[in-house]
Amino acid sequence: MTSIVQLDLAEKHYGNVQALKGISLTIKEGEVLGLLGHNGAGKTTTMKLILGLITPSKGEVVVLGENPAGSMGNTVRQQLGYLPESVSFYPQLTGREVLRYFAKLKGQSKQHCNDLIERVGLTHAADRRVKTYSKGMKQRLGLAQALLGAPRLLLLDEPTVGLDPAAIQDFYETIDQLKQQGCAVVLCSHVLPGVEKHISKAAILAQGKVRAYGSIDALREEAAIPVIVSATFNEHRDDIVETFASRYAGVKKINARSFELKVDESEKIALFKQLSNINGLEKMDVQSPTLEQLYQHFNRVQQEGGL
Amino acid sequence: MNPVITVASKEFKDGLRNRWIIAITLMFAVFSVGLSFFGSVASGTVGFMSLPVTITSLASLAVFIIPLIALMLAYDAIVGEDEAGTLLLLLTYPLSRFQLLMGKFLGHGLILAVSTVIGFGSSAVIILALAPQVPFGEVLMHFSAFILSSLLLGWVFVAMAYLVSVSVSEKSKAAGLSLVIWFLFVLVFDLALLAFLVSYQGDLNEATLSYFLLLNPTDVFRLFNFIGFEDQNVAVGVMALAKSVQPSIALLLLTLVAWIIAPLLVAYRLFSKRDV
């Protein structure tokens, strides 16, 4: 697979402020990278480096084989789509007019605009002025704009803010499609629930550094947050609870028939086997740490390390 | 399509959509027709006076209005897009900052061109229709010169508006700074020059001093429009300075062009360094 984005120890200083302290990331074709972090963690600066809007103070940024801020910048930008965090577009123009303007700048046809309007579900509002749009409609228009010219790299800044649940679902479906078509996507976000199924890997940023970087599974392994397994039996079985309590730490009784316990990821399968051999098992649930928990974990590690 | 043309045509269409073009055109038409026929009301007559009087009084009024309109039209060109978030987005498109600035200039320039030609041109047409004693050739020549210089003056202040627009971070600051620029060039400069002249009377060569007028595009505009009529008693204030020296038409036009290019270049340089 070809590398679409390559950041090599990229640093960015603004005067005395170090916005980025040496970031290394790789994004390949068909990969979706979740760029996560608090405000001020360096997400926006990282995006701007990839977009070629700023140049790194140190280190290297290569996008689609070129320096995005260099003389080949236009070639890069032709193949790149960007959805800014908050954009009000041109309130006096209609959605279709806005999209056509941006399409012309990218050398795209009217037909392509109409297709995109349909794709993002904005057909009914396309000929209304943008100033009448809701936040969700503006986000859809923003997405249509980012998809102009079938980009090979898509950068999306807080794309789901202001969208209703159905629209978020549509949005993630679009991301999954793009991923299959080989488009590389950077999803910049601090809203986490639901995103983990759609990203190939995550980079957790804090204070200008990459705190954790890898697939969700790799992050889970690194964080070593225990998996919570809960089991429910068809009758009152204190004996089972006691048996497990002697073998595992962190057993918690929920009610007469159910209990939950915490185990390491590596012990998970062995536990499943034991539980499934017990007669009368009615239900078994596994709760792996969510991305949100991982995110909190790595931010905590960072804070402790900083003290 | 070339991105410069794309940006320019959007600006022009915006000018049509928000009725700037029609408003400026009407304003120019009303005040030029009004001045041509009612400019002499104070002296007890109504009707067309003479071409020199008309052109010079038009120029005296235009020198206030055109810079103001140009500044108002263009002050938010960059800072406005920045505040809306569209500047950041535009710069992620295959479009350089130079092309964006040129597109804006072309668009705004065209808006002023259409308004100036139609607005002031209409009064030339009305003079020709209502005052048949005035030779066609003279009307054509004087009005063409007046419209050309008005256009250049407008473009000078569009360029200055961009200079303001790229150097501030808020639209309201750009508006305030534009007013300061208008005030400095249209009012303060001449007063300062006169004060200077009065306090150093005799020590300075009047001819040398008159070249100071080239430092102010509004004075260049007035010189250009007064120069053909030096026999008229219309040159007052600092304009009287230029009586002794007659700067050539070419020099005046070139100065105006330089006054367009210089602010544009500086604006481009500042824009290149601007963080988005």
**Tens digit of each residue's pLDDT (9 = 90 or more) over A135-170:** 888 999 999 999 999 999 999 998 888 788 888 888
Arithmetic mean of pLDDT over chain A: 85
Class (C level, CATH) for A226-288:
alpha beta
Is the CB of B93 less than 8 angstroms away from the CB of A87? no
Which pLDDT score is estimated for B229?
67
Residue B113 and residue B218: Cα distance in Å, rounded? 18
Q: How far is CA A218 from CA A2, A8, A96, A212, in A?
A: 22, 21, 43, 10
Residue B48 and residue B34: Cα distance in Å, rounded? 10
- Domain A3-221: what homologous superfamily? P-loop containing nucleotide triphosphate hydrolases (3.40.50.300)
A123-127, A169-173, B214-218: range with lowest mean pLDDT: A169-173
The larger pLDDT score, comparing residue A78 to residue B40, is at A78
Q: Kindly report the nearest CA distance between residue A73 and chain B, in angstroms.
A: 8
| Closest CB to B94 among A51, A87, A106 | A106
Q: Kindly report the nearest CA distance between residue A41 and chain B, in angstroms.
A: 18
Q: Does B91 touch chain A (CB under 8 A)?
A: yes
Residue A81 and residue A75: Cα distance in Å, rounded? 12
pLDDT band, residue A123 (cuts 50/70/90) = very high
pLDDT band, residue A227 (cuts 50/70/90) = confident
> What stretch of H or E contains A143?
helix A135-146
pLDDT band, residue A11 (cuts 50/70/90) = confident
What is the mean predicted confidence (pLDDT) over A100-125? 93
Is the CB of B88 less than 8 angstroms away from the CB of A104? no
Is the CB of B94 less than 8 angstroms away from the CB of A90? no
Residue B230 has pLDDT above 60, yes or no: no
The larger pLDDT score, comparing residue A261 to residue B236, is at A261
Is the CB of B86 less than 8 angstroms away from the CB of A92? no
What is the mean predicted confidence (pLDDT) over A220-235? 82
What is the mean predicted confidence (pLDDT) over B186-206? 79
DSSP letter string, B148-193: HHHHHHHHHHHHHHHHHHHH-SSHHHHHHHHHHHHHIIIIIHHHHH
Which pLDDT score is estimated for B204?
65
| Chain A partners within 8 Å of B89 (Cβ) | 82, 84, 87, 102, 145
Residue A302 has pLDDT above 90, yes or no: no
Strand A58-63 to A17-28 pairing: unpaired
- Provide φ and ψ at A212, rounded to 5°: -150, 145
Residues 6+ apart with CB under 8 A from A109: A103
What is the mean predicted confidence (pLDDT) over B200-218? 77
Single-letter code of the amino acid located at A121 = G
Q: Kindly report the nearest CA distance between residue B82 and chain A, in angstroms.
A: 10
Residues 6+ apart with CB under 8 A from A247: none
Strand A209-214 to A201-206 pairing: antiparallel
Q: Sheet holding A17-28: strands in order across?
A: A17-28, A3-14, A58-63
Is the CB of B18 less than 8 angstroms away from the CB of A101? no
What is the mean predicted confidence (pLDDT) over A9-35? 87
B64-73, B154-163, B175-184, B224-233: range with lowest mean pLDDT: B224-233
Q: Does B94 touch chain A (CB under 8 A)?
A: yes
The larger pLDDT score, comparing residue A278 to residue A303, is at A278
Which pLDDT score is estimated for A210?
85
Residue A306 has pLDDT above 50, yes or no: no
Which range scores top for mean pLDDT: A24-33, A128-137, B159-168? B159-168
What is the mean predicted confidence (pLDDT) over A81-102? 91
| Chain A partners within 8 Å of B12 (Cβ) | none
Q: Do B128 and B134 form a contact (C-beta atoms < 8 A)?
A: yes
Read off the tokens for B48.
């067309």
Q: Kindly report the nearest CA distance between residue A89 and chain B, in angstroms.
A: 6
| Chain B partners within 8 Å of A86 (Cβ) | 85
Residue B245 has pLDDT above 70, yes or no: no
Which pLDDT score is estimated for B241?
63
Model pTM?
0.87
Residue A198 has pLDDT above 70, yes or no: yes
What is the mean predicted confidence (pLDDT) over B135-157? 93
A251 forms beta bridges with: A261
Burial label for A168, CB within 10 Å (0-12, 13-18, 19+), is: buried
A79 DSSP 8-state letter: T
What is the mean predicted confidence (pLDDT) over B241-257? 80
Extents of the domains making up chain A: 3-221, 226-288
ipTM of predicted assembly, 2 dp: 0.87
Residues 6+ apart with CB under 8 A from A166: none
Model confidence pLDDT, tens digit, residues A265-295? 777 788 888 888 877 888 888 888 888 888 8
Residue A70 and residue A293: Cα distance in Å, rounded? 39
Q: Do B28 and B116 form a contact (C-beta atoms < 8 A)?
A: yes
Which pLDDT score is estimated for A307?
41
Residue from B5, B12, B81, B89 whose CB has the most chain A CBs within 10 Å, to mutate: B89
A205 forms beta bridges with: A37, A210
Q: Does B93 touch chain A (CB under 8 A)?
A: yes
Q: Kindly report the nearest CA distance between residue A88 and chain B, in angstroms.
A: 5
Q: How many CB atoms lie within 10 A of CB B140?
A: 12
Which residues 164-203 in chain A show a CB within 8 A of chain B?
Answer: none
- Provide φ and ψ at A262, rounded to 5°: -105, 130
Which pLDDT score is estimated for B180?
96
Single-letter code of the amino acid located at A168 = I
Which pLDDT score is estimated for A222?
81
Residue A42 has pLDDT above 80, yes or no: yes
A100 forms beta bridges with: none
Which pLDDT score is estimated for A289?
81
Residue A160 and residue A95: Cα distance in Å, rounded? 19
Q: Does B14 touch chain A (CB under 8 A)?
A: yes
Q: Does B34 touch chain A (CB under 8 A)?
A: no
What is the mean predicted confidence (pLDDT) over A209-234? 83
Single-letter code of the amino acid located at A170 = D
Arithmetic mean of pLDDT over chain B: 88
